[in-house]
Amino acid sequence: MTRHDRGRAAARNDPELDPDREHGDGGAPAVLLHGVGKTYGGGRAGVRALRDVDLEVRRGEFVVLLGPSGSGKTTLLNLIGGIEPATSGTVVAGGRDLSGLDEDARTAYRRDTVGFVFQFFNLVPSLTALENVRLVAELTGRGDRERAAAALESVGLAGRGGHFPAQLSGGEQQRVAIARAIAKDPELLLCDEPTGALDLETGRGVLRVLQDLNRRGRTVMVVTHNAAIAAIAHRVVRMRDGRVAEVTTTAAPAAAGEVAW
């Protein structure tokens, strides 16, 4: 805990002083990691992707994760999203201790609580853009056509609902993946490089959508190599060699429209 964090912890006892009051409900955190490690494979060939990670994300917080390639950012999102289990430590998210869940319970958590934008979009090639957006939302009973169409429109793809992924550019596919995640209106939205394939104007549009969702109380975590995006975060987490190297708090996060890269 940094000195700054300690000061904030003290301030939290006084609601009038709490700098996070506007984006935290003061209740249970959205995400809590304690002593989390992740090793892929075993023996001498094992890769330690995460080591001893402690992290708390409050409900309604917008967190940006930065760090060099291979530092463990995607792995961290995958653990929080219940896509794979931690090797050690505890991961609590959406009020559940994920470490104790079996495969079925983790699937239910992913379905009901989490929206995921993968680093490599994971669209279903045989479904149109609109069908891809509806598919995931349908699993949670929010798959109506209007909602899916509105999500596509919010990422600037109103006219492309009938196109298949192969008929869309990389950036357009990425936006379909974002529409798919937001159509669920998830409690926790996890995005891996959501603006990676986008130009400035389109990227800003996507950030605006994420920021809007966050302002409506959803917790958002964004992994990126683009340090400029850190400006819109309440908190920035820097990863290095599988560890959390630094956590900084932004007093007044910028509006998505102000970000430039």
Binding site for Mg ion (CB under 5 A): 74, 119
Residue (87 or 119) nearer to Mg ion, CB? 119
* Closer by beta carbon to ligand ATP, 49 or else 256: 49
* Cβ at position 187, least distance to Mg ion in Å: 23
Q: Provide φ and ψ at 102, rounded to 5°.
A: -85, 175
Q: What is the H or E stretch that residue 112 is in? A: helix 103-113
Q: Which is nearer to Mg ion, 67 or 186 (CB)?
A: 67
- Laid out side by side, the sheet with 31-40 consists of 47-57, 31-40, 88-93, 96-97
CB of residue 91 to ligand ATP, shortest distance in Å = 15
- How far are the Cα atoms of 11, 32, 114, 136, 213 from residue 140, in angstroms, in the given order? 38, 24, 11, 7, 18
Min dist. Cβ of residue 69 to ligand ATP (A): 3
Say how many CA atoms lie within 13 Å of 94 toward its Cβ: 24
Q: Pick from ligand ATP, Mg ion, none: which does 70 bind, CB < 5 to 8 A by kind?
A: ligand ATP
Q: Which is nearer to Mg ion, 149 or 177 (CB)?
A: 177
Chain residues binding ligand ATP by CB under 6 A are: 40-41, 47, 49, 67, 69-75, 119
Q: Dmax of the chain from CA atoms? A: 54
What is the closest distance, in whole angstroms, from the C-beta atom of residue 89 to ligand ATP in the complex? 16
